[in-house]
Amino acid sequence: MRASRAGLTLLVAVAAVAITSCGGDEPNTPPAADRSATATATASAEAGLTPVLIKTHITFRETPVGEVLGGSFIGDAAFCPGGRFRDRFDRGTVFKTFRCRNGRLTISFNPRGPIQSGSWKVESGNGRFEGLRGHGWMVVRPQEGAPPEGRETFTGTVGG
């Protein structure tokens, strides 16, 4: 299991570098502190935190909704297969609640820029996600369509 976790840590680190290496001074570029995602992911895994990668498809309506895509995981386990989510806004903060078969997880973030990005953190969870804490970086990539759609990617670490 340790080799598998090391592989997942490397995957999250590579994904984080791919996300953070696109750009320079563009609005969606993470602050300098977030550019060390590889080191942070590796150090977090060593500190007992688990890598997370969540990919979603979002439809932007009055209340944005969407689904969790395959390839999403927390540690060694798939994250929320077949799960759905709904966004709620409060004073510029997005609260995204994932509804999964084995519990609910709510995270929050404040996206900014034309290709929206920002840091995220765990707000609450129940079921499998009860007591979970963590944080990371997220990016939304818009897609053409009516209603507007996009793909979100959340990388980071969690623990409980």
How high is the pLDDT of residue 47? 75
Whether 107 and 96 have beta carbons less than 8 Å apart is answered as yes
| Residue 139 near residue 28 (C-beta atoms within 8 A) | yes
Residue 160 tokens read as 């409980």
> Along the chain (160 residues), what's the average pLDDT of each consecutive run of 10 residues?
41 38 41 44 67 96 95 96 97 96 97 88 97 96 87 95
Quick one: pLDDT at residue 42? 53
Dihedral, 23, 27, 33, 39 alpha carbons, nearest 10: -40
Q: Shortest CA distance to 115 belongs to which of 148, 141, 138?
A: 141
Task: Identify the CA nearest to 136 among candidates 26, 5, 30.
Answer: 30
pLDDT given at position 46: 54
Alpha helices (runs of H) in 21-146, residue ranges in sequence order: 37-46
Alpha-helical segments (H) within 2-160: 2-20, 37-46
pTM value > 0.85: no
